[in-house]
Amino acid sequence: MTAKEVEIVVDGNIKYLMARYGIPNWKIEVIYDECDNVNWGAQCERSNDYCSATITIDPARADSEKEVLELLQHELLHLVLAPFDLYRDTMTQHLVNFSSPAAKREQCIWRHAVEQTVRTLEVILKYGEDKSLS
Ligand SMILES: [Zn+2]
């Protein structure tokens, strides 16, 4: 998709999704460009102190409105979990060598826990209103 096409999808949905996910107070800037890792479709940088975030969506990695919304949803769910960033930042502030084996292990476990929780939230949102599952 073009950056403009992705922007139209985001602009038409982001306020609703922010309200639905309980994060209407966040100030979010969306950038349409490549991510830091070219294998990512989107990324999110956030500041808990100011409830502000920058979401980057790579238009080249979205082929449909559905894919744009999935990327946007994923990054917004990271904001839902943002309070846990404060805990992690506090607990790891004593690390002086972020390239140490212990620090790398902590980063790996943290990334796994966060991504799995975001994935679970995505499933809950997808199937949460399907009464046939109960
Ligand atoms: Zn993620």
- Residue span of the structural domain in which 129 resides: 3-133
Ligand 1 centroid to residue 85 C-alpha, Å: 13
C-alpha 119: how far from chain center: 10
CATH assignment of the domain containing 44: 3.30.2010
Band of pLDDT at residue 70, cut at 50, 70 and 90 = very high
How many Å is the Cα radius of gyration of the chain?
16
Ligand 1 centroid to residue 47 C-alpha, Å: 16
Helix axes 3-20, 65-80, angle to 10 degrees: 40
pLDDT digits (tens, 9 = 90+) for 34-58: 999 999 999 999 998 899 999 999 9
Find the helix or strand (DSSP H, E) in which 28 lies: strand 27-32
Count up the domains in the chain and report the number: 1
Distance between CA atoms of residues 91 and 118, nearest Å: 21
pTM higher than 0.75: yes
Ligand 1 centroid to residue 84 C-alpha, Å: 14
Calculate what percentage of the chain has a pLDDT beyond 90.
Answer: 78
